[in-house]
Every structure is written in structure tokens, then in C-alpha cells.
Structure 1
Amino acid sequence: MPTTIYFVRHSHSVYTPEELERPLSERGKRDAARVRGILKDKNLHAVCSSPYKRAIETVEGTASFFNKKIDIYEDLKERQLSGEPVEDFSQAILKVWKEPEFSFPGGESNREAQKRGIQDFLEILERYEGKNVAIGTHGNIMVLIMNHFDPQYDIEFWQKLEMPDIYKLTFEGKSLLGVERVLD
């Protein structure tokens, strides 16, 4: 029986320098209700999330609908691009995607972030084999995890993501069978 993962990129958030506690904006809260509406007929067995508030808030209505506790996975948090603000975010993100081993001081390379995220993701695949799971997460780490299974998920794919966004990934064991966007 296949395992279905609904990757949910978080809704729009209010910018704060504190990553962990950055909340959803009013628009983000409305969009989180939309996420719940889309996922309510997916027969979810579990809801997981990054520890970041904006990811949790995006899936908490879904978890409540299914009467599920949100399982927090520390390593599904967003990648740390740099220890200090970068001058040009677009150029910085392009550099780490072009050079997967490169990292800015205090940041993670694509390889490091992918390795971290994959460990938690594979644990979820094993724990919920044959089940339907929603995962609240972030654009960059989500695409890095998807890229582990299929290299077509790259920076160009990441650049097209919306806030929120939902992708259905179907697995047989640890083999990716298909990916489909489910956000309307």
C-alpha cells in the first residue's frame, strides 16, 4: 500500500528576525483555513511539522479537523542560509543551489540541509508506511527533500512555489512514485 505525503509549504508570515516564532500574517491565517479545506477529504492519519510557528500554524487547523496532535520534527525546519543577513538574497540562494557543497558563514550548504531534512523525512515514511500524512514545512527544505528523490525539483521549481503550496508525493517504501500539486 502506498504512503501519501502532503507537503504543505507554510502560508504567508509576518517578518521577524526570530525564525522560530515568526507567526502567520492575517492573509496567512486565511490561507491556512484554505489548506484545511483542501486537506479535509484526504483521510489523514498524521500531521507533522517543522518546529517553526508559521509551519505549525499552517497545519494546525488540519490537525484539529482530524483530531490529531502535530508531531514536531526538528530537522524539517527551514535551511539556514547564512549566520548574518545576506546582501542579495536572490544571488545567495542561487549560489547555494549552483554549488551544493557551498555554505555562507554560519549557514548550511544544500547538501547539509538536504541530509538533515531527509533523515526526518525517511523516519516519517517508515513510521507512517501505507498512511496519509500532512507535513507543514518550508519551501527550500521541502524542495531539497524532493530533490533527493528526483533532481527535477530544483531552484527553478522552488522559485515557482506559492505561500502556501501543497504537493502530494506518493511513495512505495522509499521510492517516489509520483508528485502532484493539489493546491487550487
Structure 2
Amino acid sequence: MEELSKSTVTLLGVVVGWLLGQGSELLRSHLKNRKLVGALNAELKDLQAHLEKSMERCAKSINTDDAPRATIWPHAITHPIYTQYYPEICLHITSDQRLSINSIYGHIATFNQRLAGDYAPQAIKRGLFLAYVDAKWAYELIDYYFRHNGKRNLADDEAKIREINADFQGFADKI
């Protein structure tokens, strides 16, 4: 009888140890995922600040009569967290958040492509305007993402879209 109780205690110890190990791994994984989502959110805030400065540079250059000599070309935007960790992060966020984030980074990719474009001197303002459009959309999408925690889509807010398009029209008239 004592032999049985020792084996039962040993087996119980193994089971409890295994459960603690699984719980520890689950907690570690959860904390890592929270940290990655937090890093992505921090990157989005940094991108928003960069986009704001880029929009200011584009606007200043578009409004200047001395373009292309007075052009202040914005810098391309890097996004290492999204590039390296998004496949892992996307498993731990909602579908609406994924759609919002993909829209944001899609506009950032287009913004970077526009900056890399080779524009003739007479087309620089047009190139800056196109870069401004993508920067503005990415900026507004980030703002909307944080304001609604990724649960609502900017495309559904007609008033905000009209406001953004009015901003674009003001610059389009100057080109």
C-alpha cells in the first residue's frame, strides 16, 4: 500500500509539474504577444509623428512659388516592427484591427514609392502632392485606429472623408 502511495505521489508530482510548465509557457507567450502589440502601437505613434512632419514639408513645398529649388523632400518611412513581427502579431489582434493596420501600412508603402519616384522639375509639385495624399491617408487612418481601437473603419465615416478630400482639393488647385 505504501508503494502505491509513493508512485501515486510521484505521478501526481509529474502531472503538477507539467501543468505548471504549461501555465508558465502560456503566460510567457501571452506577455510576449502583449509586448509585440504594444511595440506595434508605439511604432504607429512614431509613424504618425513622422507623417505629420512629412505632410508639413510637402505642403510647404507645394505652397512655395520657387519649386523645385525650394523643395523640402520628406524622408522615406521605415517600419521595422511591422516588417519583422507583423506575421506573429496579426494572430493576436482582431480582424478589424488587421484591416486597419494593413490599410495604414499600404499607404505608407505607397508614400515611400512616391518619394522614390523620379520627377521632372515641372512635375515635382505633383509628386509632392501625391506623396502628401498617401501621408494624409496614413495619418488619418492611424488617428482613427487609436480613437476607435481599430474597431471602426475610416471608410465608413463619410464626413471625415469629405473633410480629407477638401484638404486635398485645396492643394490640387495649386498644382
Calculate the TM-score normalised by the size of structure 2. Answer: 0.28
Q: Which protein is richer in strand relative to its size? A: 1
- Which structure would you say has the larger RCO, counting Cα contacts within 8 Å and 6 or more residues apart? 1
Q: Which protein is richer in helix relative to its size? A: 2
